[in-house]
């Protein structure tokens, strides 16, 4: 009798596990459900108003940077362009958004030259300093101007900023945080899982 009860319990436990799906094996950090992010409205480098809702149905990569960045930004944008090449036809369902943390210098015209140079589908976003700050705060992005050593010109500055990227699923829900320098293969792998 005891063995029958044990077998019945094991049987129920194995059946209960049948309805559970295994979590995807992401290579970046799964932040699903974190109180980060949300809807926003900025201006695209094409001059059109854009909101996150405009990209529903696509997986969105959200990166905060600036066009005068010497290292982090071009490296990340290059990795994303390579990741989209690795995805092949699936790349049409991915939208990369580059949010400028330097709205004083990053005009729509400058973003329009810089961002699509990595991939013509990439979109640069800007707005007033207050609009950028509001979006950055939603996504817990830290940034600040920093004077260039040895320069007395106030227009000659850099911007220290958070270096990771966010990935949102097709429903616009924040899912992943990708550390700077993770590489194109990590982006491609995780984007493919969300596609």
Going by their DSSP bridges, the two strands 59-65 and 94-100 should be labelled as parallel
Distance CA 73, CA 8 (A): 58
Nearest alpha-carbon partner for 164 in 42, 25, 24, 31: 31
pLDDT at 153: 75
pLDDT at 4: 40
Distance CA 51, CA 55 (A): 8
User: Under the phi-then-psi rule, with left for phi > 0, alpha for psi from -120 to 50, and beta for the rest, what region is 43?
Assistant: beta
The stretches in the chain having pLDDT less than 50 are: 1-19
- Tens of pLDDT, residue by residue over 16-45, are 444 456 677 999 999 999 999 999 999 999
Q: Which residues are annotated as a binding site?
A: 69, 73, 161
Q: Which residues are annotated as a binding site for Cu cation?
A: 69, 73, 161
Q: Which domains does the chain have, with CATH numbers?
A: 27-194 (3.40.30.10)
Q: What is the pTM of this model?
A: 0.86
Helices 184-194, 72-87: axis angle to 10 degrees equals: 50
CA angle centred on 161, ends 77 and 48, rounded to 5°: 60
Close Cβ partners of 125 (under 8 Å, ≥ 6 residues apart) = 42, 43, 44, 45, 50, 97, 98, 99, 100, 111
Give the SS3 label for residue 165.
strand
DSSP string, 60-86: EEEEEE-TT-SSHHHHHHHHHHHHHHH
């Amino acid at each position: 009798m005891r063995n029958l009860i044990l077998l019945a319990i094991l049987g129920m436990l194995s059946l209960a596990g049948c309805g559970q799906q295994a979590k995807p094996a992401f290579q970046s950090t799964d932040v699903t459900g974190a109180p980060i992010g949300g809807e926003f409205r900025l201006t695209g480098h094409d001059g059109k108003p854009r909101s996150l809702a405009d990209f529903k149905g696509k997986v969105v990569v959200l990166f905060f940077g600036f066009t005068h960045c010497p290292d982090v930004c071009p490296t990340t944008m290059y990795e994303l362009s390579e990741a989209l090449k690795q995805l092949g036809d699936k790349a049409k369902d991915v939208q990369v958004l580059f949010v400028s943390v330097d709205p004083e210098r990053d005009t729509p015209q400058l973003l329009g030259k810089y961002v699509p140079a990595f991939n013509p589908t990439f979109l640069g976003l800007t707005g007033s300093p207050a609009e950028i700050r509001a979006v950055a705060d939603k996504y817990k992005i830290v940034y600040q101007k920093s004077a260039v050593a040895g320069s007395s010109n106030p227009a000659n500055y850099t911007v220290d900023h958070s270096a990771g990227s966010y990935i949102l699923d097709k429903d616009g829900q924040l899912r992943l945080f990708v550390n700077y320098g993770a590489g194109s293969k990590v982006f491609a792998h995780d984007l493919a899982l969300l596609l």
